[in-house]
Chain A
Amino acid sequence: MVEKVSPEAHAAYERIHASDDFARLKRAYTGFVVPMTVAFLVWYLLYVLCSNYASGFMNTYLFGNINVALAFGLLQFVTTFGIAYWYSKHSAQKMDPLSDALRDDFEQEVGR
């Protein structure tokens, strides 16, 4: 049940959409998530493809019974944690101040 918004709210949305701050927010968001999504998907697919087609490389033993395949798999965990942490820092510093301010504007303008 998506309510049709009031004319005031519609005007506020349009005004915010056209504002410089919103353009900056959008850049801060897409500038981070788009390259990052491409990167982690490529990195993951590389792992899947290596498991299939690069057995010589994956079956190299680094030390003891630890081979490249295991290390590569564990690195996927490391990069996932790393990207998640990086995004939390990025969004708190570059996105939240802008989105908080824009939301406050909207709420004052529309009165809710």
Chain B
Amino acid sequence: MSTLTLVQAADDTHGHQGLTMSLFILVVLVTVAITFWASRNTKTAADYYAGGRSFSGVQNGFAIGGDYMSAASFLGISGAIALSGYDGFLYSIGFLVAWLVALLLVAELLRNSGRFTMADQLAYRMKQRPVRTAAATSTIIVSIFYLLAQMVGAGALVALLLGVDGDSAKNITIAGVGVLMIFYVVMGGMKGTTWVQIVKAILLMGGTILITILVLAKFNFNLSDLLGTAADNSGHGKEFLEPGLKYGATTTTKIDFISLGLALVLGTAGLPHILVRFYTVPTAKQARQSVLWAIGLIGAFYLMTLVLGFGAAALVTGAEKDQIAASGGNLASPLLAQAVGGGADSTSGAVLLALISAVAFATILAVVAGLTLTSASSVAHDLYANVWKKGEVTGAEEVKVARIAAFVIGAVAIALAIPGQKLNVAFLVALAFAVAASANLPALLYNLFWKRFNTRGAVWSIYGGLISAVGLVFFSPTVSGSETALFTNADFSWFPLSNPGIISIPLGFLLGYIGTITSRETDSEARFAELEVRSLTGAGAEK
């Protein structure tokens, strides 16, 4: 079926779907055009992996925002607030405060001492092959979890927004998103991906500001009135505005809340697709500027999700309210847009719904492109060029392998996402953060700040954090033994929490410490002075 007939078919049956579909197609056309344009300027390995290190701090700040503010935060957090009230707010705070770790401890030092991937930074003073293999493994696993979250979310969302039911529509959507992301990454490399993310960040901020103003205007810009109406309409009363509605029930849920809070605040600075963004600017100062811009954008965005979430609780009523609950909260923002536009039967409501849906679609595309590029880079640069070929490859060969890897990873992601549609999106994102905080952050921080740190410490902390985070989740009630579990008819759970961070993060640090002090390697200490000078001053940094 051609796209035109699809549009017409949708238009005939539903009010807003035709418009939504047209805007989706517009988003696709604009991003494809950007990618074509970027592909003509991508020649060297530094172009492909790091966008030629030619982006300014402001541009990269927007791109970081575009990379970070995923569908899980745009749709997920506002949905969590719409359903659980105040407890949804923890995500916003954790996701924002986390940027201070990136700003103060990671961004500039990484820019100065690394090259294309997270592993570059560790491999600076360690044995190349074991460290790169470990870092690449963790990069790929974190990225795949995150990728699955976005793609599963995309399938559910697009099917709902376009009003098409059934598994085949979701499967087609997932495959379509997958093909697009492969196209962006294979053709456009980091330049194309970055511009897609910048455009998305602008669309997302614009759409969010518009809806926020419309919501606040309904309450004469009185936040207290908005909260009061939200509490009244939520069915929970004042409890809706207070902590504990979702996590306050038992001691276990309270510890789960702390565990989640830790993973959120420590995970960001270990997310590989965020780390590689620091390589796209020419200097450490620009890396700092980009994080400052990112903090401003992301902070403003999360403040607005508060209004969107409580706004959805206050203003969306009737059948649409049930629809929000049925979607696990994911449809709160789009349906709020419809409500503030004048409701389901009004043209302006349909326009706003279509607009916000298209923004959500752009959001998904930009994030999956960043994730695919990051894992493909790690396969090509770490595993192929340095582990397998021991560095004896040209940049052109590396880029060729990266393009093939992007294709394969995209195909794997599609193949996993289609049968994985039962997976809970928030669970996958939280798991990605937990792995990033447990496996990547300890190794990165030790490497930058602890002279004695060595290869065994790095390998132990990465694999230890990775295995414990994933393993604990596997034996948690999220996977088996509860009504909402992945496998409802089996019970092999013994770990009571759904968030492993409170155990796996300290374990990652502890194993890094034990591995280090039980090893006699001295080469890594000998190169610490070099790493320290390079990371703090930028002397000899990649240009």
Interface on A for B, CB 8 Å cutoff?
1-2, 5, 9-10, 12-14, 16-17, 22, 25-26, 29, 32-33, 36-37, 40-41, 44-45, 47-53, 55, 58-59, 63-67, 69-70, 73-74, 76-77, 80-81, 83-85, 87-88, 91, 96, 98-99, 102-103, 105-107, 110, 112
Chain A to chain B: the 9 pairs with minimum beta-carbon distance, closest first: A64-B224, A106-B539, A51-B243, A65-B227, A17-B529, A48-B261, A33-B104, A13-B530, A99-B537
Q: Which residues of chain A are within 8 angstroms of B244 by Cβ–Cβ distance?
A: 51-52, 55
Choose one: B248, B288, B292, B536; the contact of A52 (CB below 8 Å): B248
A–B Cβ pairs within 8 angstroms, 14 of them: A13-B540, A48-B257, A51-B257, A52-B248, A52-B254, A52-B257, A66-B227, A69-B241, A76-B97, A77-B96, A80-B295, A84-B292, A85-B292, A99-B538
Whether B328 sits at the interface, judged by CB under 8 Å, is no
Q: Which residues of chain A are within 8 angstroms of B158 by Cβ–Cβ distance?
A: none
Interface on B for A, CB 8 Å cutoff?
86, 89-90, 92-94, 96-97, 99-101, 103-105, 115, 120, 123-124, 128, 223-225, 227-228, 231, 238, 241-244, 247-248, 254, 257-258, 261, 265, 284-285, 288, 291-292, 295-296, 299, 302-303, 381, 385-386, 391, 529-530, 532-534, 536-540
Judging by beta carbons under 8 Å apart, are B224 and A48 in contact?
no
Judging by beta carbons under 8 Å apart, are A73 and B540 in contact?
no
Judging by beta carbons under 8 Å apart, are A22 and B533 in contact?
yes
Name which residue of chain A comes closest to B289, CB basis.
Answer: A88
Judging by beta carbons under 8 Å apart, are A17 and B224 in contact?
no
Choose one: B93, B258, B540; the contact of A9 (CB below 8 Å): B540
Choose one: A52, A70, A77, A106; the contact of B537 (CB below 8 Å): A106
Given A16-B537, A103-B538; A66-B224 close (CB under 8 Å): yes
Given contacts A9-B540, A16-B533, A26-B536, 20 further A-B contacts (CB under 8 A): A1-B381, A2-B115, A12-B539, A16-B537, A16-B539, A44-B93, A44-B94, A52-B257, A55-B248, A59-B243, A63-B224, A65-B241, A69-B242, A80-B99, A80-B100, A83-B100, A96-B285, A99-B284, A103-B538, A106-B540
Assembled-state Cα–Cα distance A102/B533 (Å): 9
Q: Which residues of chain B are within 8 angstroms of A69 by Cβ–Cβ distance?
A: 86, 241-243
Assembled-state Cα–Cα distance A107/B532 (Å): 16
Q: Which residues of chain A are within 8 angstroms of B257 by Cβ–Cβ distance?
A: 48, 51-52
Given A33-B104, A66-B223; A103-B539 close (CB under 8 Å): yes
Q: Which residues of chain B are within 8 angstroms of A70 by Cβ–Cβ distance?
A: 86, 89, 227, 241
A102 CB to closest chain B CB (Å) equals 4
Name which residue of chain A comes closest to B242, CB basis.
Answer: A59
Given A33-B105, A36-B104; A80-B299 close (CB under 8 Å): yes
Most chain B CB atoms below 10 A, which of A77, A107, A112: A77
Judging by beta carbons under 8 Å apart, are B540 and A110 in contact?
yes
Choose one: A55, A88, A103; the contact of B242 (CB below 8 Å): A55
Name which residue of chain B comes closest to A26, CB basis.
Answer: B536
Assembled-state Cα–Cα distance A65/B248 (Å): 20
Name which residue of chain A comes closest to B229, CB basis.
Answer: A65
Assembled-state Cα–Cα distance A65/B247 (Å): 21
Most chain B CB atoms below 10 A, which of A2, A45, A81: A2
Q: Which residues of chain A are within 8 angstroms of B96 by Cβ–Cβ distance?
A: 76-77, 80
A54 CB to closest chain B CB (Å) equals 9
Judging by beta carbons under 8 Å apart, are A2 and B100 in contact?
no
Assembled-state Cα–Cα distance A112/B542 (Å): 11
Judging by beta carbons under 8 Å apart, are B295 and A14 in contact?
no
Q: Which residues of chain B are within 8 angstroms of A37 by Cβ–Cβ distance?
A: 100-101, 104-105
A69 CB to closest chain B CB (Å) equals 5
Q: Which residues of chain A are within 8 angstroms of B238 by Cβ–Cβ distance?
A: 59
Choose one: A1, A45, A67; the contact of B391 (CB below 8 Å): A1
Assembled-state Cα–Cα distance A85/B303 (Å): 18
Name which residue of chain A comes closest to B449, CB basis.
Answer: A30
Judging by beta carbons under 8 Å apart, are B242 and A84 in contact?
no
Name which residue of chain A comes closest to B124, CB basis.
Answer: A2
B303 CB to closest chain A CB (Å) equals 6
Given A37-B101, A52-B248; A58-B243 close (CB under 8 Å): yes
Judging by beta carbons under 8 Å apart, are B265 and A44 in contact?
yes
Assembled-state Cα–Cα distance A10/B531 (Å): 11
Judging by beta carbons under 8 Å apart, are B101 and A5 in contact?
no
Q: Which residues of chain A are within 8 angstroms of B530 by Cβ–Cβ distance?
A: 5, 10, 13-14, 17
Most chain B CB atoms below 10 A, which of A52, A58, A107: A52
Q: Which residues of chain B are within 8 angstroms of A13 by Cβ–Cβ distance?
A: 529-530, 533-534, 539-540
Q: Which residues of chain A are within 8 angstroms of B536 by Cβ–Cβ distance?
A: 22, 25-26, 29, 99
Q: Which residues of chain B are within 8 angstroms of A50 by Cβ–Cβ distance?
A: 243
Name which residue of chain A comes closest to B45, CB basis.
Answer: A1
Q: Which residues of chain B are within 8 angstroms of A41 by Cβ–Cβ distance?
A: 265
Judging by beta carbons under 8 Å apart, are A2 and B261 in contact?
no
Most chain B CB atoms below 10 A, which of A50, A58, A80: A80
Name which residue of chain B comes closest to A48, CB basis.
Answer: B261
Name which residue of chain B comes closest to A6, CB basis.
Answer: B540
Given A37-B100, A87-B103, A102-B533; A67-B242 close (CB under 8 Å): yes
Q: Which residues of chain B are within 8 angstroms of A10 by Cβ–Cβ distance?
A: 530
Q: Which residues of chain B are within 8 angstroms of A73 by Cβ–Cβ distance?
A: 89, 92-93
A64 CB to closest chain B CB (Å) equals 3
Q: Which residues of chain B are within 8 angstroms of A88 by Cβ–Cβ distance?
A: 288, 292
Q: Which residues of chain A are within 8 angstroms of B86 by Cβ–Cβ distance?
A: 69-70
Name which residue of chain B comes closest to A33, CB basis.
Answer: B104
Judging by beta carbons under 8 Å apart, are B243 and A76 in contact?
no
Judging by beta carbons under 8 Å apart, are A107 and B539 in contact?
yes
